[in-house]
Amino acid sequence: MALTEQTQASLSGWGNFPRLRDARVLRARGEAEMRAAIAQERSLIARGNGRSYGDPAMGSRATLSLLPSDRLMAFDADSGVLTCEAGVMLADILDVFVPRGWFVPVTPGTKFVTVGGAIASNVHGKNHHGAGSFGNHVESLTLALADGRVVRCSPQENADLFAATCGGMGLTGVIVSASFRLMRIETAYIRQETHHAANLETVMAMFEANQAWTYSVAWIDCLARGPDLGRSLLYLGEHARADELPAGNGQPLVLPPKATRRVPIDFPAFALNRWSVRAFNALYYRRAQAGGSLIDYDSYFYPLDAILEWNRIYGRPGFLQFQCVLPKATAAAGLRLLLDRVARSGRASFLAVLKLLGKQDGLLSFPMEGYTLALDFPADTGTLGLMLELDAITADHGGRPYLAKDSRCGATLVRQGYPHLGEFQSIRARVDPTGKFSSLQSERLGL
Ligand SMILES: Cc1cc2nc3c(=O)[nH]c(=O)nc-3n(C[C@H](O)[C@H](O)[C@H](O)COP(=O)(O)OP(=O)(O)OC[C@H]3O[C@@H](n4cnc5c(N)ncnc54)[C@H](O)[C@@H]3O)c2cc1C
More confident residue, 233 or 272: 233
- 3-state secondary structure at position 234: strand
C-alpha distances out from residue 409 to 90, 275, 402, Å: 28, 28, 10
Q: 72 burial class (0-12, 13-18, 19+ CB within 10 angstroms)?
A: middle
Beta carbons within 8 Å of 243's beta carbon, 6+ residues apart:
none
Beta carbons within 8 Å of 246's beta carbon, 6+ residues apart:
294
Number of C-beta neighbours around residue 105 at 10 A:
19
Highest mean pLDDT (candidates 6-15, 73-82, 295-304): 73-82
Ligand 1 centroid – CA 106 distance (Å): 13
Beta carbons within 8 Å of 348's beta carbon, 6+ residues apart:
223, 272, 273, 274, 276, 277, 278, 377
Q: How far apart are CA 246 and CA 266, in angstroms?
A: 41
Q: What is the pLDDT of residue 2?
A: 54
Ligand 1 centroid – CA 424 distance (Å): 19
Residues with CB under 6 A from ligand 1: 14, 45-52, 56-57, 66, 86, 108-110, 113-114, 116-118, 120-121, 123-125, 169-170, 174-175, 304, 404, 439
Beta carbons within 8 Å of 235's beta carbon, 6+ residues apart:
126, 192, 193, 194, 215, 216, 217, 218, 219, 300
Amino acid, single-letter form, for residue 319:
F
Amino acid, single-letter form, for residue 406:
D
Q: What is the pLDDT of residue 112?
A: 97
Highest mean pLDDT (candidates 13-27, 133-147, 246-260): 133-147
Phi/psi for 402 (5° steps) reads -95, 115
Q: How far apart are CA 53 and CA 417, in angstroms?
A: 19
Ligand 1 centroid – CA 12 distance (Å): 13
Whether the per-residue pLDDT at 287 is higher than 70: the answer is yes
Q: Which of 137-151, 262-276, 365-379, 407-421 has the lowest mean pLDDT?
A: 262-276
More confident residue, 228 or 10: 228
Number of C-beta neighbours around residue 415 at 10 A:
14
Q: How far apart are CA 130 and CA 171, in angstroms?
A: 28
- 3-state secondary structure at position 118: helix
Q: Whose CA is closest to atom 5 on ligand 1?
A: 109
Phi/psi for 374 (5° steps) reads -125, 130
Q: Whose CA is closest to atom 34 on ligand 1?
A: 117
Q: Which of 98, 106, 25, 110 is nearest to 68 (CA)?
A: 25
Whether the per-residue pLDDT at 220 is higher than 60: the answer is yes
Q: What is the pLDDT of residue 371?
A: 98
Q: Tell me the chain's radius of gyration from C-alpha atoms.
A: 21
Ligand 1 centroid – CA 202 distance (Å): 31
Report whether 326 contacts 397 (CB < 8 A). yes
Report whether 368 contacts 361 (CB < 8 A). no
Q: 212 burial class (0-12, 13-18, 19+ CB within 10 angstroms)?
A: exposed
Give me the mean pLDDT over the 361-387 stretch: 94
pLDDT digits (tens, 9 = 90+) for 121-167: 999 999 999 999 999 999 999 999 999 999 999 999 999 999 999 99
Ligand 1 centroid – CA 121 distance (Å): 6
Ligand 1 centroid – CA 404 distance (Å): 6
Amino acid, single-letter form, for residue 219:
W
Q: How far apart are CA 214 and CA 196, in angstroms?
A: 19
Q: Whose CA is closest to atom 7 on ligand 1?
A: 108
pTM metric for this prediction: 0.96
Give, as one character, the DSSP assignment of residue 437: B
Report whether 178 contacts 190 (CB < 8 A). no
Q: For the packed helices 200-209 and 328-345, what is the interaxial angle rounded to 10 degrees?
A: 140
Report whether 138 contacts 362 (CB < 8 A). no
Among 33, 123, 320, 349, which residue has the most ligand 1 atoms within 8 Å of its CB, making it the best to mutate? 123
